[in-house]
Amino acid sequence: MPFTNFPGGVSSLGMPVLPGGVPIMGSKAKVFFVDGARGSNGNRGTDWRKPVATVTKALTLCTDKAGDVIVLMNDGNTSGTSRDSATLTWSLDNTHLVGLCAPTVLSQRARISPPSTNTTIVTPQLNVTGNGNSFWNISLFEGDDQDATASIGVQITGARNYFKNVAMMNMGHANSADEANSAHLLIDGGEENTFDGCYIGLDTTARSAGNANVELKNAATRNTFRNCMFPAFADASTPVFVKIDSAGDIDRWVLFDSCIFMNATNSTASTMTVGMTVANSAGGHVIVKDSSIHGATAWVAAGNAFVRITGPVPTKATTGLSVDGGA
């Protein structure tokens, strides 16, 4: 097979390679190309010159457990978006999605978003029920104006999935942002998933209900967030960055390592009462290591024994902040 080189860090000599030289294909795997601007779902997708138009179509071409790779191309603008009109259910194992675009921290233009003609919220946008998959350098956005419907960006019930430089940005309209059950990321019993350098949230739409950037429930186990950003724009005190508000929502632990939690500060923003709602019977520990919080009065409600905050304390005096154990 001739050597080819694809922009954005993916190259191949019979095998796609991620930035840093990490191969992610199996020995029997195939590569499928998606281009929302010039692709056609009538194409086979195996030739980058004849890509399919949506990730949904490419996923139907993949083989479970084979190590197939979907390459999401773009034109540098929103016109290159993969317009997926229904939930993208990632039920396969060992199947990967890589965005070929500038590796910005948010709003990557290797993007998945519903068509502008949609009249109903696509929720969740991405539903990962499979195991051992990876998602690199893509963004997901949902901003439909349907009222009285909660919006979930990414939902995970699977295990050992990896997200690198992925932006999860739903709740893009005030109607979904005022629903208490909305979340940018919902880990529903998912185990041992890792989020590395991801942007999980949105600070352009005001949130007025007790919804969350990330919610964990149903014994979500040993999930890790490293170097992630959690932006928000609260116009009430009730939204939170992290919601773990019922008995047994986590098992063992969840780790936030070197993360930034940022609630917008302007004339219309409200300070969050707490950055995290964590039930005393949550079932495991929330470890917050070397992280910072902005626009919230406290990390967590006073007396919570399940949140452990380690590392340097912010120098600005803020009521309720403490080290290793709540507010």
165 with 89, same domain: the answer is no
36 with 115, same domain: the answer is no
Cα dist from 66 to 4, 24, 26, whole Å: 21, 11, 6
153 with 197, same domain: the answer is yes
In tens digits, what is the pLDDT along the chain, a chain of 327 residues? 333 444 444 444 445 555 545 556 677 889 999 999 999 999 999 999 999 999 999 999 999 999 999 999 999 999 999 999 999 999 999 999 999 999 999 999 999 999 988 889 999 999 999 999 999 999 999 999 999 999 999 999 999 999 999 999 999 999 999 999 999 999 999 999 999 999 999 999 999 999 999 999 999 999 999 999 999 999 999 999 999 999 999 999 999 999 999 998 776 789 999 999 999 899 999 999 999 999 999 999 887 888 999 886 554 444 444 443 333
77 with 107, same domain: the answer is no
93 with 127, same domain: the answer is no
111 with 85, same domain: the answer is no
Nearest-angstrom CA–CA distance, 128 and 48: 26
Total number of domains constituting the chain: 2
Nearest-angstrom CA–CA distance, 251 and 261: 23
Nearest-angstrom CA–CA distance, 83 and 86: 9
Tell me the backbone φ, ψ of residue 175, rounded to 5 degrees: -65, -40
31 with 158, same domain: the answer is no
Nearest-angstrom CA–CA distance, 90 and 73: 19
3-state secondary structure of 175: helix
Where a domain ends, among 70, 101, 132?
A: 101
Structural tokens at position 68? 């197939």
Structural domain including 162 reads 103-327
Whether residue 91 contacts residue 128, with contact meaning beta carbons closer than 8 Å, is answered with no
Q: How far apart are the first and last CA of the chain?
A: 60
For residue 242, the one-letter residue type is V
For residue 141, the one-letter residue type is F
pLDDT for res 265: 74
Where a domain ends, among 40, 66, 101?
A: 101
261 with 292, same domain: the answer is yes
pLDDT for res 269: 80
Residues 6+ apart with CB under 8 A from 172: 141, 142, 143, 144, 202, 204, 205
Where a domain ends, among 76, 101, 126?
A: 101
91 with 121, same domain: the answer is no
Here the CATH number for the domain that contains residue 137 is 2.160.20
pLDDT for res 4: 45
276 with 145, same domain: the answer is yes
Phi-psi map region of 171: left, alpha, beta (phi>0 left; psi -120 to 50 alpha) = left
Phi-psi map region of 129: left, alpha, beta (phi>0 left; psi -120 to 50 alpha) = alpha
150: DSSP letter: -
pLDDT for res 69: 92
Q: Quick one: CA torsion of 71, 76, 80, 85, rounded to 10 degrees? A: 80
Nearest-angstrom CA–CA distance, 259 and 290: 7
| Count of residues making up the chain | 327
For residue 196, the one-letter residue type is D
158 with 176, same domain: the answer is yes
In 3-13, which positions are buried (b, 16+ CB within 10 angstroms) versus exposed (e)? eeebebbbbbe
214 with 123, same domain: the answer is yes
